[in-house]
Structure formats: structure tokens, C-alpha cells
Amino acid sequence: MKKYRKEDQYYEDQYDRSTIKILKEMEGEIKAKGIPLNIATDPLNPNLSLAEQHALGIHYRDKGALRAQNRKEAIIKWKQEDEYKDRLIETYIPPKKVNCKTCNARMELSGHLFKPDISPVLFVFQCPLEHKPNKVLFPDGDEYFFPKRKCEKCNGDLVSSSERKETVLICKDECKQCGHIVIDEYDLTPTEEKPITIEDRKKYCEGFKNSKTFTQSLKDIAELAEQLKVHQKETEIKQEYNIDQIEKPTIPQVEQRLTKLMEELGYIKFQFGKPDMGAHVIIEFSVQDPTNRSDRESEKLLIKSISENLFPTFWRLMKQTVSYRLGYITGKVKCYADDGGLLKIGKEIKSVEKMDSKINIENQ
Ligand SMILES: [Zn+2]
Ligand SMILES: [Zn+2]
């Protein structure tokens, strides 16, 4: 028995063939209304509103975009479904010795039905002389009977018959109760699928690759606008607090700067320890005070002078860490280099500037 899983190309062709058919039909409708496919370049239909002409074009392009977007997933799904069918027919063995009710000939397995709610697989057997009906069997050999169809008008029982006229199969359902008749005709001409032309594939399938639907594009624009707004807000804050003007000295520059400051105040041997490179850089320092200042005075002077000196930079003294013992002082400085940190520094500088200008005005 033939396998269900086919070559990869088969699934791609199936999908593309269907896409081409759908889009060609839509295109036909649009053209029939006298609307150009490309509203931007081709003359419009003067009898229809612009909105209407736009809507049809959008509908067409949306369909193309969606078909292109869903292609990969749909093809994977089809392949998986067929692979699953192959696993089922490998797992379940068809019943043997099935005979035709009419001529008692041994029937041949002609296909499967997959009805998961009834049985993972059902086997369809055919009489070699084509006597009807076919037999549908469960894997254990029991026969499966399709539910009886009922009259759509009165729910009465139906008498069904079929007749083949050359390549057309005519099926007739007649209601025993009300006489309602339904006739269905099926074209049995073997349809050989024509190969897909390069032009069609290019225009209807590849042409929509990576394109977005109208709604998706609108969403993109909205998101972009939102991003711009956030960016603008950030820029405004940066400007308001002069973030770009905050001094950003490196570790050796800060060390030099503080060494000089400390020496001017009579301290000696200022030096940095190894920096702690966490989310914020924190560095321990040590310095010695050989003067006769008291511990309190020494600590106070150090805190005040270092804090003032670092104020215009993105470095801050961690005041709580400063400790004095027998002329030997340790403490830590911290760097606020991230956006949040810079904003905090910017705000501090701005608030002091405000206060300064207030004091200046009052002093004038
Ligand atoms: Zn038979
Ligand atoms: Zn009826």
C-alpha cells in the first residue's frame, strides 16, 4: 500500500496551488468591478468610492500576506498528519479474508479512513468486480456502518441510489416519507494537476513573502510611534537634567583627583583598593591623617570635602562607610553610570543649582 507521506515538494505545491487559486479568484472579482489592483498607479473606477476600492485591494493583499505567513506551518502540519497516518497503518494490521456479499470474491484493501473518535484507523475493502457497497472494517474485523443519513426536510429515512454516466457519478437520495429528492453529481474525470507556472508562483506566492497585512502594518506604525515617544521622553529628561554634562571621570582619574584633594587638606597616602565591578562600581579607599585633628573632625572634614569634590561627577561618597581609627580612615565611593543613576545625579545637581540661584538672588 502506498505511503501517505509524500515528497516535500508535493506539500509545497499543494499549498501554493491553493494560494494561487484563491488570489486569482479575488483578483478576478476586483477586475470585474473595474477596480485596478494597484490603486497607487492605475486609473480608478469613477463609479465606486475610493474607500471601497481601497478595501478590496487591502483584502486582496492581506490574503496574500497571510497565505505567505502561514505557509511554513501549514506544510509542516500536513506532513505530520501524513506521517501519523503512516504510523497508524504500520501499527494496525488489516483484517484478512474479507469476502464480497454479492459474489463472495475475496475483497481487496483499497484505502483507510481515519476517524479518531471511532477508531484510529478503518480499513476500506473493495470487490474486484466493483460490487457495491465497499466494506469498512475495524482492525479487529468488525464491520463499521456509516450513520444513516436522514431527510433534510422531515428527518425521514432515505433510499439512496447511484448511477455512473461516463465520467459523472449521479447520487440520488429519495425520502420514503415526504418524497423529497436530492441529487448530487460528481465529476470523476481524473484531474491531472497542472504544474505551477513560474510566473504564478512568483506573483502570488513569493511576491507576498515577508509582507504584512494592513492591520499588522498599522500595529507596527503604532509601536514605532510609541518607541519614538519613549525615546523623546528620555531625550527631554536628559536635556532637563543636563545628563550629558555630568562629569564622568575614570577610576584612575578619580583616584588622582581625590589624592590631590586629600593632600591639600593634610591627609596622606590616599589610595584605592580593588574595585567591585557589580551593577554599580564600588571602590574602597584608605587614607591617613597625621595631623592632630580629632577623629570626629577628621571624619567630618573628609566627608564634606570628598562629597563636594565628587558632586559634579557621577561618583558619590558612601558616607555611612567612612570610618576613622587611630588616624587611619577607610570608606567607599560608588559610581552611578547607568541611566537611572545618571538621572539621580542630574536631579541632585539641578536641585542644588536651584538653591544656589535662589541664595544668589536673595543676596543681591
Ligand atoms: Zn463482488
Ligand atoms: Zn422527507
Rounded CA-CA distance 276/283 in Å is 6
168 C-alpha to ligand 2 centroid (Å): 26
pLDDT tens digit sequence for 275-307: 999 889 999 999 999 999 999 999 999 999 999
CATH of domain 246-363: 3.30.980
Q: What is the pLDDT of residue 202?
A: 95
Mean pLDDT, residues 16-20: 96
Record the cell numbers describing residue 92, joined without a space: 494496525
Residue 361 — very low, low, confident or very high, per pLDDT cuts 50/70/90? low
Q: What is the pLDDT of residue 182?
A: 92
* CA dihedral of residues 124, 127, 132, 133 (deg, nearest 10): -30
Rounded CA-CA distance 35/46 in Å is 9
147 C-alpha to ligand 1 centroid (Å): 23
Q: What is the pLDDT of residue 296?
A: 94
Q: What is the pLDDT of residue 341?
A: 92
Mean pLDDT, residues 65-89: 96
Residue 268 — very low, low, confident or very high, per pLDDT cuts 50/70/90? very high
160 C-alpha to ligand 2 centroid (Å): 13
125 C-alpha to ligand 1 centroid (Å): 11
Q: Are 168 and 188 in contact (CB under 8 A)?
A: yes
Q: What percentage of the chain exceeds 70 in pLDDT?
A: 97
Q: What is the pLDDT of residue 160?
A: 87
Residue 364 has pLDDT above 60, yes or no: no
Residue 359 has pLDDT above 80, yes or no: no
Q: What is the pLDDT of residue 278?
A: 87
Rounded CA-CA distance 220/124 in Å is 52
151 C-alpha to ligand 2 centroid (Å): 5
Mean pLDDT, residues 14-31: 94
Q: What is the DSSP letter of 201?
A: I
Residue spans of the domains in the chain: they are 1-91, 246-363
232 C-alpha to ligand 2 centroid (Å): 72
* Ligand showing the shortest atom-to-Cα distance for residue 154: 2
Give the DSSP H/E element, type plus range, for residue 332: strand 328-335
Q: Which residue has the higher pLDDT, 225 or 189?
A: 225
103 C-alpha to ligand 1 centroid (Å): 4
Residue 363 — very low, low, confident or very high, per pLDDT cuts 50/70/90? low
Q: What is the pLDDT of residue 85?
A: 96
Residue 357 has pLDDT above 80, yes or no: no
Pairing of strands 268-272, 281-288: antiparallel
Residue 354 has pLDDT above 90, yes or no: no
127 C-alpha to ligand 1 centroid (Å): 5
Residue 57 — very low, low, confident or very high, per pLDDT cuts 50/70/90? confident
